[in-house]
Structure 1
Amino acid sequence: MPAERRTDGRRTDERPAGDGAAGDRAAGERPIGERSAGERPAADRLAGDRLAGERVDHRFKALPPDAEGLTVGALAAERRSLFTGGFTTPVLALSAESVEHNLALLETYSERHGLAFAPHGKTSMSPQLFARQLEHGAWGITAAVPHQARVYRAFGVARIFLANELVDAAALRWLASELNRDPGFRFLCYVDSVRGVELMDEALRSAGATRPVEVVVELGAGEGARTGVRTEAQCAAIADAVAAVPTLRLTGVAGYEGEVPGADGDSVRAWLRRLVALAEEFDRAGRFEAVGEIVISAGGSAWFDAVADVFAEIPALSRPVLKLLRSGAYISHDDGHYRHLTPFNRVPEEGSLQPAFRLWAQVVSRPSAGQAFVNAGKRDAAYDLDLPQAQVVRDGRTGEIRPAAGVTVTGLSDQHGWLTTTPEAVLEVGDWVGMGLSHPCTSFDKWQLIPLVEADGTVTDFIRTFF
């Protein structure tokens, strides 16, 4: 049975970040996340005055009605209780302690395994959390689509890895402008087709690009997988197309191991070795002569232990290698999908992540002894992979918090959660039910402003999202 969590969702049995012996960094390898003072974006620019100065109003669900007109920063400074401070239900809370634990753990893990880290920002789309990730040694932030990259740039992110082929002419014009304007901005993206190379070159030429865009050839994870080039011969043809245009520069290879058909430890490692072999072949062919470092990138949130193992085997190449991991869901973790998939289940000696989300909803109907309804539904909770899990009940009369014994979430409507209760369940109208969620990416996107809550229920900040 999992250990009970505290008020804000933090488990009480988690080991400290960084448990396990840290390995020494290989000789000559640069420190992970090393950057000059000019390259590192300041946290206050990323997440400070512009967000704290927003006004509390109808845009942000669950915030106290009596706080209308205050700035978000002023409301945070009041350090209200999530339960008695006027917040309305449903309300999603993010554990301050669990977020900090997870940040520290992945920083330590990356350093231990000689990996650079560009966590996928699509998970949270929160500049405040990007700032914390960068402070914890992240090399940059990964994006999936142009809008996300624009948000990152609006808050000063200096390094962006776009894990997609970028062929949108309007987005490429914006990118050319950003690269021309800011010599400190570094941007990389996938290429996986000759036609994509042609479209990128055409758009960048017309935009007057003065700096070539760095691209990495995406190796597909196999037939039936998502994107990416299926054969090494096709990869070489795309690399030739890149070499033929002045607007692009081949920097490395990349892909996503989570799409390997029937993924298991052996098949994922086999694909990762193909990726490394592709980089070696490109290097032998002299394809990286114009770059200062070779980028080899992979890593979702389910197989980063395999990435660490195989990337540790990368031989010496003609240039230093940036071994870039891109896992993103770790920052909040979850109580479902990633709780089961996390590599830390396979390497428990390296630590464990803590689920940081808890959705609080109020019982608004108890029509029978075996049924209850709360006022949170599909608009509030992730449901694409698993339903929420009832974990605790806060008594509406006394404020006492007890385990949600005999309470199960069995369905969601738009604005209602369906609960089934057994005779042991102690639940009545007015009680609050605290639920764990599955899949961070579809939890963050339902909330524009999320209270960051300490273990005793004190709200210390608000996490702004930009989906």
Structure 2
Amino acid sequence: MSTEALARLAEERVDHRFKGLPPDADGLTVGELTAQRRNLFTDGFTTPVLALSAERLEHNLKLMETYAARHGLAFAPHGKTSMAPQLFHRQLEHGAWGITLAVPHQVRVARAFGISRVFLANELVDPAALRWVAAELAADPSFRFICYVDSVRGVELMDAALEGAARPVDVVVELGAGEGARTGVRTEAECAAVADAVAATDTLRLVGVAGYEAEVPQADPERVRAWLTRLVGLAVDLDKAGKFARAEEIVVSAGGSAWFDTVSEVFAGIPELSLPVLKLLRSGAYVSHDDGHYRKITPFNRVPEEGALEPAFRLWAQVVSRPSPEQAFANAGKRDAAYDLDLPFAQVVRRDGAERPATGIEVTGLSDQHAWLSTASGAELEVGDWVGLGLSHPCTSFDKWSLIPVAEADGTVVAYVRTFF
């Protein structure tokens, strides 16, 4: 099913739905356009256009594959970062155990493209979605699905929706990261009550514990380590109490993109339990990385001998107005660039086939379709120039583009990534 679904992506027709692509490619299939190996800069692509670096994307995939293997971790990267089935499958080819997602729609996309292991890092109490999950589990014995639970009430709602299901839904107790954090049970006593509620059902099966350490208030290595130690202790206590009696392995899962070094460190000390332990890391932003938020906080900055991720996105915009020596405007704005955490970063200027650093050029604001550029004295910038922008926060970069060219260093486009937000 996955091969056929991916092949159908190549059969999709290029048209007005996909911004930035060459107008004269209308009517071609994506596969036909890919085969032409057009150049991003000289073969008709229009600005603004977002591109992924082929080389950097491959580097990041290999680096995290190596990292997870080195530290004895299973890896279920958070697919909501990209919502791109082609990237899901490349991550699986690079050793991923499965894909992590956040809401039922995303699970449906993953299943449509043959993903057989899904970790839903969220509570799920919607009856229609639960019945759909139950149907998927019944139809496909190889499908593995795990989701969070964090309340007795949630367990009751799940149980009611799943009445008569052929297979139980696997759940993990989510341990909250602290007062004022997001979802998750706040105390160990409440965790035990949720575990007891799961045990009282036939429709659910408790298989482990999980959480999200980036939500720890005022997160730093010590606070994150303390919370992860609590998470491991919760798994130990629930195991001693026999709460995983119906499981085949015990899942202990954490790991956003900011603290996976600390996750690796603490998970290395998980003691022997009554069943094999699946140490499941869920970092997802690594696949494209970024030039802002994650570049500042990546664990590889703290442990440089492990390697380094590389920002794989670049948004190309064109200067359309130069009203004064101190100001210019390019034709990419909020509809094109991530801006929820940091503004884009001017990196290079391209003119007549030559590229140079964007010295003295700064993005100071975004309108819907314009980037506001501040230009220092002596900054070389003219109407018509292309400006290459680095982006912050990949999660809100992918969701603005439904078909993204993947370009080699010389601009040759070798693939197109389809997203489903």
What TM-score results when the alignment is normalised by the length of structure 2?
0.99
Deviation at 1:312, TM superposition (A): 0.1
1:286 to 232, 239, 242: 242
The separation in 2 between residues aligned to 1:135 and 1:227, in whole angstroms, is 32
Answer with 370-379 or 282-291: which moved more: 282-291
Could you tell me which amino acid in structure 1 is paired with residue 134 of structure 2? Answer: A
Among residues 136, 146, 159, which one is paired with 1:188 in the alignment? 146
Alpha-carbon offset, residue 419 of structure 1? 0.3
**1:280 and 1:317 in contact (8 A); partners too:** yes
Q: Deviations over 1:109-156 (max 9, x none)?
A: 000000000000000000000010000000000010000000000000
Residue 21 of structure 1 corresponds to none
Contact kept in structure 2, 1:53 and 1:72, CA below 8 Å: yes
Partner of 2:348: 392
CA distance in 1, matches of 2:375, 2:320: 14
Aligned: 1:245 with 2:193: no
Which residues in structure 2 correspond to 1:68-107 (within 5 Å)? Answer: 68-107=26-65
1:323 correspondence with 2:276: no
CA displacement, residues 390-435 of structure 1 (integer Å, 9 cap, x when unaligned): 000001xx22111101110000000000001012211101000000
Residue number in structure 2 paired with 1:136: 94
Indicate the SS of the match to 1:276: helix
Rounded Cα–Cα distance in structure 1 between residues aligned with 2:48 and 2:229: 46
Whole-Å separation in 2 of the counterparts to 1:341 and 1:401: 29
Candidates 161, 185, 198, aligned match of 2:119 = 161
CA distance in 1 between counterparts of 2:414 and 2:123 reads 39
Q: Contact conserved, 1:371 with 1:419, CA < 8 A, in 2?
A: yes
Alpha-carbon distance in structure 1 between the residues aligned to 2:315 and 2:4? 30
- After the TM superposition, list the runs of 4 or more consecutive aligned residues in structure 1 that deviate by more than 6 angstroms: none
Once the 2 structures are TM-superposed, how far is the Cα of residue 290 of structure 1 from its aligned partner? Answer: 1.5
| Pair 1:171 & 2:171 matched | no
SS at match of 1:122: helix
Match of 1:32 in 2: none
User: Number of aligned pairs?
Assistant: 421
Q: CA offset at residue 289 of structure 1?
A: 1.8
Q: In the alignment, what sits opposite 2:292? A: 336
- Partners of 1:345 and 1:445 lie apart in 2 by 27
Q: What is the SS of the residue equivalent to 1:173?
A: helix
Q: Is the 8 A contact 1:90 1:361 kept in 2?
A: yes
Question: For 1:461 and 1:356, how far apart are their aligned partners in 2?
Answer: 14
Does structure 2 conserve the Cα–Cα contact (< 8 Å) formed by 1:149 and 1:160? yes
- Counterpart of 1:461 (choices 410, 415, 420) is 415
Stretch of structure 1 that moved more, 281-290 or 74-83: 281-290
1:11 maps to none
SS, match of residue 193 in structure 2: helix
2:376 pairs with 419, 422, 426, which one?
A: 422
CA distance in 2, matches of 1:243, 1:452: 48
CA RMSD of aligned residues (A): 0.8
Distance in 2 separating the partners of 1:361 and 1:185: 43
1:311 is aligned to 2:252 = no
| 1:258 corresponding residue in structure 2 | 214
Distance in 2 (alpha carbons) for counterparts of 1:133 and 1:97: 15
**Secondary structure, counterpart of 2:118 in structure 1:** strand
Deviation per CA, 1:85-128: give whole Å up to 9, x if none: 10000000100000100000000000000000000000000000
Alpha carbons 1:405, 1:424 under 8 Å: kept? no
Task: Call closer, same or farther: CA 1:46–1:252 in 2, change over 3 Å.
Answer: farther
Is the CA contact (8 Å cut-off) linking 1:449 and 1:462 kept in structure 2? Answer: yes
Q: Is the 8 A contact 1:363 1:375 kept in 2?
A: yes
Number of the residue aligned with 1:27: none
| Distance across 2 between alignment mates of 1:124 and 1:46 | 18
1:359 offset after TM fit, Å? 0.3
Paired residues of 1:46 and 1:128 also in contact (CA < 8 A) = no
> Which position in structure 1 is the counterpart of 2:155?
197
On the 8 A contact 1:119/1:325 being kept in 2, the answer is yes
- Which residues of structure 2 form unaligned runs of 5+? none
Distance 2:126 2:393 in 1: 29
**Correspondence for 2:360 among 390, 394, 406:** 406
The answer on whether the counterparts of 1:63 and 1:87 sit within 8 Å (CA) in structure 2 is yes
Paired position in structure 2 for 1:218: 174
Displacement of 1:46 in angstroms is 5.6
State the alpha-carbon separation in 2 of the partners of residues 102 and 352 from structure 1: 8
* Alpha carbons 1:222, 1:230 under 8 Å: kept: yes
Percent of paired sites with the same residue: 77
Q: Which runs of 5+ in 1 are unaligned?
A: 1-40
Instruction: Give distance in 1, aligned partners of 2:215 and 2:65.
Output: 25
Q: Are 1:221 and 1:255, in contact at CA under 8 Å, matched by a contact in 2?
A: yes
2-side partners of 1:183 and 1:344: how far apart? Answer: 38
Q: Are residue 114 (structure 1) and residue 68 (structure 2) matched?
A: no
Per-residue CA deviations over 1:423-465 (Å, capped at 9, x if unaligned) read: 2211101000000000000000000000000011000010000
CA distance in structure 2 between the aligned counterparts of 1:228 and 1:286, rounded to whole angstroms = 21
**Residue 439 of structure 1 aligns with which residue?**
393
CA distance in 1, matches of 2:149, 2:12: 39
Secondary structure of 1:87 counterpart:
coil
Inter-CA distance 109–216: structure 2 relative to 1 (3 Å threshold): same
TM-score where L is the length of structure 1 = 0.89
Counterpart among 301, 310, 315 of residue 257 in structure 2 = 301
Structure 1 residues 353-364: aligned runs within 5 Å? 353-364=309-320
Give the Cα separation in 2 of the matches to 1:361 and 1:81.
Answer: 16
Which residue is 1:33 aligned to? none
Given the alignment of the two structures, is residue 229 of structure 1 paired with residue 185 of structure 2, yes or no?
Answer: yes
Return the alpha-carbon distance in structure 2 between the equivalents of residues 256 and 406 of structure 1. 39
Structure-2 separation of matches of 1:218 and 1:267:
18
Which residue is 2:226 aligned to? 270
Q: Distance in 2 between matches of 1:46 and 1:96?
A: 22
